Amino acid sequence: MEENDIDLTVQEMVYSFPTPEHPYYHLKASFVTGTFKEYKVERVLVNGKRVRDFAVYNNGRLATRKTIQGQGKSTLVARADWENGSTNRLELEAVATDEGSELHLVGTAPAPTYGGYWDPAWKHYASVVLTESAGLRRNREPVHLTLGLYADRLTDPPREIRVVSVDPETGRHTEVPSQVYEVSTWSDRADIHCQPTTTCKVAFFADVPARSSSLYLVFYGNRAAERPTYASDLRIEGEGLGFNVENSYYRATLHAKSGAIDEFFLKMGVNEKFDHHLETNGALHWNPGVYAPPRTWIHASDWDPPPGYAKEKGPIFFMTKRWGALPHYPEVKVSVTYVFYSYSPYVMVTTVTDLLEDITVQALRNGEIVLNHNVVREFAWKKLTGEVESFVCKERPRHPTRALEMASNTPWLALYNRECKAAFGAINLEESNMRRGGGLVCIEQPYMYLNWGPWVYWCRALVYTFMGNNPQRMVRVPGGSTYYEKMALMPFRLGESDEDRFDFIEEYHQILSNPLHVKVEMDTDERVPEEWTPPILVEEFEEMED
């Protein structure tokens, strides 16, 4: 030991459960060096094992270079997966930045009897910090994560993974229902650049206070774990493509031939059915669709059956995925995905249209919902300026004249009946169009519109000369074009008065349009190289320094 070396004992050592600021079990060690020197922290050990996840604060300010300043109180926050009632030893080794003298810090203290590691049978965990910034309290908000985990840390993700919430004040742990899906493992090589990795997706419901953060831990690595079972209000009946999907808010029926949404039965004390059943396949949800005469007009609802089909089923959601070329249009490939959540009033719908070759069309459309007049009488929509307007459908011009044109990104729209309090709405969330082969995407006057005849429907026009004053025009759409959209379909009960009639759909428009910010943090594994590993590049280059 050199003459200028310093040995210190921790003045105060505090145990903490994971928090949004430090989303892992940790120790806080406070001390004063009694010198004006600066020390760079080299090693931190807990119970003799090196810890690479830690932070240093000097007089309450984060030291971004993990250096200890001698002019005041310093605090070390070190990851430590402590258990209730355990005694743990913390050590720190640091080296002076000017002359190489060393600083050693040691502390030992018993842990409290609450707030410690959830269950030692699960060896690892990922921390998930969810932050709400729109001023909306989130209750049972669906969260989807994609996790890439070292493959040797777990064997069967659907059986092993558990999601646990941590109370921010008491540290109380509560296991929450979760669903693991789309699992795959990559194991082509193992070196400083790549390690065998298992990728999986995890869904769960989260509660987050307005303008605040909540913390969830995804535990894994218990090879003896049994597959969990969770309560859910989601009920799935049927086979093939024709399922009945039911939760506390609605019952949806999928078409037996195409898998498209065919009917919605609204609960919520209303007990009304929305359907179409007037022409062609009779489905409620039609698009994407295309019309390039002399070929017939075709929609995704005309599949019998879709070329590709898959489904995911669990306590959080039921998902169907359909994809492939549209009938009679081998150059037009589309995909339609439905996600039905438990305890949620909406169905998430995403669609993608890919044009593999140039095609000349009179219609390229999306976002189409078709209903008969058995229930709905009026139509309402929220304008981009924020006002909500409405009218009686049959008081507007009848097909083939459009009853109404709206902005393509209209926030939400709904067909409804104020007498029986029944409404069927859609919330527009995302719309993206691109041309992969270069150049600008082809969209001719994008808009949404309402039309009525024997039926009433809304639709998003991408290229649509058919309903114009020169309907024989043909528009060339280049191959390599892709059209994507995401919307939430939602049957709902109207409010009792004019003032609150559409509060329900407006509330969910605000929630779904302002998703939670998701941050995932994992521990630093021992196999990670000490120094930064440059990527494999065509040419070597030297990183520029400030």
CATH entry 2.60.40 includes domain 124-230+518-522: yes
For the stretch 285-329, pLDDT in tens is 999 999 999 999 999 999 999 999 999 999 999 999 999 999 999
A 10 A CB-CB count for 525 gives 11
Query: Which class would CATH give 235-493?
Result: mainly beta
The per-residue pLDDT string of the chain (546 residues; one tens digit each, 9 = 90 and over) reads 466 788 888 899 999 999 999 999 999 999 999 888 899 999 999 999 999 999 999 999 999 999 999 888 999 999 999 999 999 999 999 999 988 799 999 999 999 999 999 999 999 999 999 999 999 999 999 999 999 999 999 999 999 999 999 998 899 999 999 999 999 999 998 888 899 999 999 999 999 999 999 999 999 999 999 999 999 999 999 999 999 999 999 999 999 999 999 999 999 999 999 999 998 889 999 999 999 999 999 999 999 999 999 999 999 999 999 999 999 999 999 999 999 999 999 999 999 999 999 999 999 999 999 999 999 999 999 999 999 999 999 999 999 999 999 999 999 999 999 999 999 999 999 999 999 888 888 888 789 999 999 999 999 999 999 988 888 889 999 999 999 999 999 999 999 999 999 999 999 999 999 999 999 999 999 989 888 888 888 766 665 555
**Per-residue pLDDT tens digits for 525-545:** 998 988 888 888 876 666 555
Tokens at 137, concatenated: 């309290």
The two domains 6-110 and 124-230+518-522 share their CATH topology (first three levels equal)? yes
pTM for this one? 0.94
In the CATH hierarchy, which fold is given to the domain comprising 6-110? Immunoglobulin-like (2.60.40)
Task: State the Cα–Cα distance between residues 190 and 526, nearest whole angstrom.
Answer: 14
Give the C-alpha separation, 399 to 384, whole Å: 25
Q: In the chain, what are the domain boundaries?
A: 6-110, 124-230+518-522, 235-493
Q: What is the Cα–Cα distance from 349 to 287, expressed in whole angstroms? A: 11
Determine how many CB atoms are found less than 10 A away from the CB of residue 1.
Answer: 9
Give the H or E element holding residue 504: helix 503-513
- The secondary structure of 264-315 as a DSSP string is EEETTTT-EEE---SSTT--SB--SEEE-TTSPPEEGGG-SS-SEEEEEE-S
